[in-house]
């Protein structure tokens, strides 16, 4: 995965915010960024943690075991869903960003800002709260352009198109062999991951 | 003078395959010329059995590759990582558009052409359609009516296999169908609700060239809904599954691929075409083939392109263009989302398997003497009902175990109606040779000059209202309704340019699809269309082709061409 991330060019910069005080404002964060040295592995670590928070292991393996971090790195490197498009500074809280900031810089920045400290070193329950807060905000009206929607979309795609997500968490049958137009379905029935029309229009 | 072949068929797609089959079965020695690569049925469908996790980009594809090589093709919803090898490379195959216009030209240059990637919806045109130009004065009168084509629709449907339901509607003539695919539980409910409120409207299963019964070595549909990857079961109609094996079985077919027809060659002494000049796109070698008749089946716009660049002293503006109308009156369908609605009902019911067709609500506007709305002609809806899949997770808030558990179940029902409105034939919508730009081999590019008109916009506006009303009547909550057409070409029903007509001064082809000016050249793909109707047109192209082949062989035998 490291190789893929490196190829994708997403490991180049990171934001160093460890050991910071709570209640940061954007200016504080950028001050830290300016002082901090980039950490090559930071985005990798962040991707893994965020994938795990979005789709954790339950009675089936979650996003990390399904290899979603590697897919996410590949997707961002190649710009799936516009994820490597030039990044508007206005998308950052406070409206400022380094010239070459990417979508993962944004994520790191916003999570650190919300956590009031380095998100990755925050306790797990705080990480859940912070990411839930970011997620809720991104899905309110007016935030349709939130970069989080792009990232979560890629995580969802990565998981449900993986063998684990498509065929263990959900059901997968490439050759159904028949069409049943009306069958009972209950809360314990898993959906079919390859209902292609529903995947496209649903 | 002896000729290399009795007939040359230019193109191997939906109509080229039909021309090859019909002509070889009638005993002619036929050369079929395909510009793209060879694709062997079954063995060359390399992505057919792939699961998403076996694809480098999970089926989504590589946006960098798409930006550089597939800038237009990748806008098509049928274009995916699984199907990208069945679409043309835009960088290598450029075209131009007139200033201030846009046109998305979706193409498949390969053996089988777009028969491998088509939507398979198979509808007859009616006398409402064949009579429309005469009735309202747009375009020129079709020189044929439904009765002329009916036996050939029968002939084509019998051979290709179409599943569907006869409904007895004047706007969508019945056909010869295999048993219909089933409406799902919500579609059945919507059908009852809509037909109760509007007795003149009908919701019926899409008539599709997917088999529901085994047929001549072809299997019944496996309900995979991944047709465009190629189907080794042969369960949908394509050149490879259907017409090509029939043509090859005669021993009368010679097939060459990677060979583009540059011009149809004209003999001023005999006033006939005598062959084609071709270019092997792999080797760069040029040569000529001669034949007694030529069938133009390159795909509507490419047929126009070849004729436009087939210039001679007798036809300085393109072969068969004494009228000056070659390339004019091109059409598509004006298409957009009529309405999407969510439903609370039937939450304990679902479907299994992937049905490779949707539903259709055939045209109900402006039939007969009644005029409804402020537009002429009509539209129809295609779509269907489905339960949302995991992709809804992209647009819903939530993270963690609860989010995952929610996506484990099937999502809510939704129903979609997509509008297809008739595109009026207009002289200003046209093709021409680009005055400046050329392709890698020095040939002038085809320039497309097309815009949808006010009639199309009015029809889509009416359609949006009616789609919303019907889904509401069925108990749905409408969440989206659009009424602006997509960019020209978006329906992938581009057609016209060599329209059929009675009069050589105002049309390009006659009632038998012969060029008025050069009677041994037959144009039987979408180029010959004089109006677009609002139905998916491929079945009509096939019927016109089979009919023209019958005529061509009779005329040949009588020594009249």
**Distance of CA A88 to CAs A25, A31, B64, Å?**
19, 19, 21
pLDDT at A86: 82
- For residue A134, the chain B residues in CB contact (below 8 A) are none
* Residue A122 CA to its chain's centroid (Å): 17
Phi, psi of A13 (to 5 degrees): -130, 155
User: How far apart, in whole angstroms, are the C-alpha atoms of residue B250 and residue A187?
Assistant: 57
Phi, psi of A137 (to 5 degrees): -60, -45
B412, B476 in Cβ contact below 8 A?
Answer: no
When pLDDT is cut at 50, 70 and 90, the band that residue B1 belongs to is: low
| Contact flag A184-B349 (C-beta cutoff 8 Å) | yes
- For residue A165, the chain B residues in CB contact (below 8 A) are 390
CB < 8 Å from A in window 46-105 of B:
49, 51-53, 57-60, 62-64, 77
Residue ranges for chain A with pLDDT beneath 70: 1-41
Question: What are the pLDDT digits (tens) for B356-394?
Answer: 999 999 999 999 776 778 999 999 999 999 999 999 999
- Mapped to the 3 state alphabet, what secondary structure does B516-529 carry? CCCCCEEECCHHHC
Comparing CB atoms, the residue among A177, A179, A185 nearest residue B181 is A179
Picking from A56, A59, A150, A197 by the largest number of B CB atoms within 10 A of its own CB, the best residue to mutate is A197
Radius of gyration (Cα) for chain A, nearest Å?
19
- For residue B48, the chain A residues in CB contact (below 8 A) are none
**Distance of CA A120 to CAs A138, B125, B523, Å?**
20, 64, 67
Radius of gyration (Cα) for chain B, nearest Å?
23
Q: ipTM exceeding 0.90? A: yes
Q: Which residue of B has its CA nearest to A57?
A: B401
Task: Say if A55 is an interface residue toward chain B (CB within 8 Å).
Answer: yes
CB < 8 Å from A in window 319-378 of B:
348-355, 358
pLDDT at A27: 54
Question: What are the pLDDT digits (tens) for B511-540?
Answer: 999 999 999 999 999 999 999 999 999 999
Task: Say if B222 is an interface residue toward chain A (CB within 8 Å).
Answer: yes
Task: Say if A45 is an interface residue toward chain B (CB within 8 Å).
Answer: no
| Contact flag A193-B389 (C-beta cutoff 8 Å) | yes
pTM: 0.94
Q: Which residue of A has its CA nearest to B399?
A: A54
Task: Say if A80 is an interface residue toward chain B (CB within 8 Å).
Answer: yes
E-state strands within B39-175: 96-97
Question: What are the pLDDT digits (tens) for B426-454?
Answer: 999 999 999 999 999 899 999 999 999 99
| Contact flag B388-A202 (C-beta cutoff 8 Å) | yes
Q: How many CB pairs under 8 A join A and B?
A: 193
Task: Say if A181 is an interface residue toward chain B (CB within 8 Å).
Answer: yes
Token readout for A132 is 């839930």
Comparing CB atoms, the residue among A80, A136, A187 nearest residue B60 is A80
| Contact flag B405-A128 (C-beta cutoff 8 Å) | no
Task: Say if A174 is an interface residue toward chain B (CB within 8 Å).
Answer: yes
Q: Identify any residues that bridge with A180 across adjacent strands, giving them in sequence order.
A: B352
Nearest CA distance, A142 vs chain B (angstrom): 13
CB < 8 Å from A in window 521-560 of B:
none
When pLDDT is cut at 50, 70 and 90, the band that residue B82 belongs to is: very high
| Contact flag A149-B395 (C-beta cutoff 8 Å) | yes
* Residue B148 CA to its chain's centroid (Å): 21
pLDDT at A124: 97
Task: Say if A202 is an interface residue toward chain B (CB within 8 Å).
Answer: yes
Within a 13 Å sphere around the CA of B292, how many CA atoms are in the beta-carbon half?
Answer: 16
Task: Say if A201 is an interface residue toward chain B (CB within 8 Å).
Answer: yes
Q: Identify any residues that bridge with B208 across adjacent strands, giving them in sequence order.
A: B121, B163
| Contact flag B222-A175 (C-beta cutoff 8 Å) | yes
pLDDT at A95: 86
pLDDT at A25: 52
| Contact flag B397-A136 (C-beta cutoff 8 Å) | yes
Nearest CA distance, A193 vs chain B (angstrom): 7
pLDDT at B329: 98
Phi, psi of B343 (to 5 degrees): -130, 140
* Residue B341 CA to its chain's centroid (Å): 28
Q: Which residue of A has its CA nearest to B62?
A: A78
pLDDT at B88: 98
Task: Say if A190 is an interface residue toward chain B (CB within 8 Å).
Answer: yes
pLDDT at A89: 87
What class does CATH assign to B1-116+123-161+239-333+426-451+493-561? Answer: alpha beta
- For residue B401, the chain A residues in CB contact (below 8 A) are 56, 58
Question: What are the pLDDT digits (tens) for B269-312?
Answer: 999 999 999 999 999 999 999 999 999 999 999 999 999 999 99
User: How far apart, in whole angstroms, are the C-alpha atoms of residue B55 and residue B53?
Assistant: 5
pLDDT at B340: 97
Mean pLDDT rounded to a whole number for chain B: 97
Token readout for B513 is 């699809």
- For residue A200, the chain B residues in CB contact (below 8 A) are 77, 391
User: How far apart, in whole angstroms, are the C-alpha atoms of residue A148 and residue A76?
Assistant: 13
- Among the listed residues B498, B495, B494, B538, the one whose alpha carbon sits nearest the alpha carbon of residue B518: B498
CB < 8 Å from B in window 88-147 of A:
128, 131-132, 135-136, 138-139
B112, B42 in Cβ contact below 8 A?
Answer: no
| Contact flag A187-B387 (C-beta cutoff 8 Å) | no
Comparing CB atoms, the residue among B63, B183, B401 nearest residue A58 is B401
- Mapped to the 3 state alphabet, what secondary structure does B339-385 carry? EEEEECCCCCEEEECCCCCCEEECCCCCCCCCCCCCCCCCEEEEEEE
Summarize the confidence of residues B10-35 as an average pLDDT. 98
pLDDT at A37: 31
Picking from B404, B414, B480 by the largest number of A CB atoms within 10 A of its own CB, the best residue to mutate is B404
**Is pLDDT of B130 > 50?**
yes
Picking from B397, B412, B479 by the largest number of A CB atoms within 10 A of its own CB, the best residue to mutate is B397
Question: What are the pLDDT digits (tens) for B83-113?
Answer: 999 999 999 999 999 999 999 999 999 999 9
pLDDT at A41: 65
Share of chain B above pLDDT 70, in %: 100
Phi, psi of B551 (to 5 degrees): -65, -45
- For residue A146, the chain B residues in CB contact (below 8 A) are none
Taking the domains of chain B in order of start, what are their residue ranges? 1-116+123-161+239-333+426-451+493-561, 165-237+336-421+453-487
B120 CB-contact burial (10 Å; exposed 0-12 / middle 13-18 / buried 19+):
buried
Task: Say if B384 is an interface residue toward chain A (CB within 8 Å).
Answer: yes
């Amino acid at each position: 995965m490291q190789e893929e991330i490196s190829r994708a060019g997403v490991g180049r910069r990171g934001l160093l915010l460890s050991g910071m005080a709570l209640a940061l404002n954007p200016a504080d964060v950028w001050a830290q960024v300016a002082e901090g040295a980039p950490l090559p592995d930071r985005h990798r670590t962040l991707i893994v943690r965020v994938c795990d928070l979005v789709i954790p292991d339950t009675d089936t393996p979650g996003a990390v075991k399904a290899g979603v971090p590697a897919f996410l790195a590949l997707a961002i490197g190649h710009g799936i869903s516009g994820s490597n498009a030039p990044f508007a500074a206005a998308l950052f809280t406070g409206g400022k960003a380094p010239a070459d900031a990417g979508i993962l810089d944004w994520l790191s920045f916003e999570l650190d800002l919300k956590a009031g400290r380095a998100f990755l070193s925050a306790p797990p329950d705080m990480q859940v709260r912070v990411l839930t807060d970011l997620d809720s905000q991104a899905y309110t009206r007016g935030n349709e352009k939130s970069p989080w929607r792009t990232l979560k979309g890629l995580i969802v795609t990565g998981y449900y198109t993986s063998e684990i997500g498509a065929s263990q968490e959900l059901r997968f049958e490439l050759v159904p062999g028949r069409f049943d137009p009306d069958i009972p379905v209950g809360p314990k029935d898993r959906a079919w991951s390859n209902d292609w029309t529903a995947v496209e229009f649903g | 003078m002896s000729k290399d072949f009795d007939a040359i068929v230019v193109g191997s797609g939906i109509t080229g395959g039909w021309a090859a089959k019909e002509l070889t079965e009638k005993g002619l020695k036929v050369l079929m010329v395909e510009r793209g690569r060879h694709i062997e049925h079954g063995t060359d469908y390399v992505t057919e059995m792939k699961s998403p996790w076996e694809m480098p980009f999970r089926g989504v594809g590589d946006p960098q590759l798409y930006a550089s090589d597939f800038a237009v093709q990748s806008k098509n919803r049928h274009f995916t990582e699984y199907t990208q090898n069945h679409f043309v490379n835009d960088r290598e195959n450029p075209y131009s558009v007139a200033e201030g216009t846009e046109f998305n030209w979706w193409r498949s240059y390969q053996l089988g052409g777009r028969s491998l990637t088509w939507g398979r919806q198979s509808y007859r045109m009616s006398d409402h359609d064949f009579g429309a130009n005469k009735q309202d004065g747009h375009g020129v009168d079709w020189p044929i009516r439904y009765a002329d084509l009916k036996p050939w629709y029968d002939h084509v449907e019998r051979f290709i296999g179409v599943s569907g339901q006869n409904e007895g509607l004047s706007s969508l003539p019945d056909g010869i169908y295999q048993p219909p695919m089933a409406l799902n539980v919500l579609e059945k409910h919507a059908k009852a609700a809509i037909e109760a409120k509007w007795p003149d409207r009908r919701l019926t299963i899409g008539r599709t060239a997917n088999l529901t019964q085994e047929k001549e070595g072809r299997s019944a549909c496996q309900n995979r809904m991944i047709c465009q990857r190629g189907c080794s079961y042969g369960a949908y109609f394509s050149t490879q599954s259907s017409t090509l094996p029939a043509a090859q079985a005669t021993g009368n077919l010679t097939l060459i691929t990677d060979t583009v027809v540059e011009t149809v060659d004209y003999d001023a002494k005999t006033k006939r075409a005598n062959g084609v000049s071709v270019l092997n796109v792999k080797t760069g070698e040029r040569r000529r083939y001669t034949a007694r008749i030529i069938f133009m089946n390159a795909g509507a716009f490419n047929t126009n392109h070849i004729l436009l660049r087939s210039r001679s002293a007798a036809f300085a503006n393109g072969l068969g263009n004494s009228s000056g109308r070659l390339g004019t009156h091109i059409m598509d369908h004006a298409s957009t989302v009529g309405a999407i609605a969510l439903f609370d009902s039937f939450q304990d019911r679902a479907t299994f398997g992937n049905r490779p067709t949707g539903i259709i609500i055939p045209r109900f506007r402006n039939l007969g003497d009644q005029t409804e709305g402020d537009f002429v002609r009509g539209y129809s809806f295609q779509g269907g009902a489905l339960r949302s899949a995991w992709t809804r997770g992209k647009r819903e808030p939530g993270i963690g175990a609860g989010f995952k558990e929610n996506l484990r179940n099937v999502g809510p029902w939704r129903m979609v109606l997509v509008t297809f409105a008739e595109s009026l034939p207009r002289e200003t919508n046209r093709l021409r040779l680009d005055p400046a730009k050329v392709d890698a081999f020095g040939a002038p590019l085809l320039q497309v000059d097309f815009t949808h008109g006010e009639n199309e916009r009015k029809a889509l506006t009416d359609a949006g209202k009616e789609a919303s009303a019907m889904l509401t009547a069925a108990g749905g909550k409408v969440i989206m309704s659009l009424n602006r057409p997509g960019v020209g070409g978006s329906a992938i029903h581009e057609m016209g340019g060599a329209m059929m007509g009675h009069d050589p001064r105002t049309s390009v082809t006659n009632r038998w699809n012969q060029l008025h000016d050069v009677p041994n050249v037959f144009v039987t793909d979408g180029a010959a269309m004089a109006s677009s109707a609002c139905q998916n047109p491929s079945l009509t192209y096939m019927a016109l082709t089979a009919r023209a082949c019958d005529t061509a062989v009779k005329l040949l035998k009588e020594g009249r061409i």
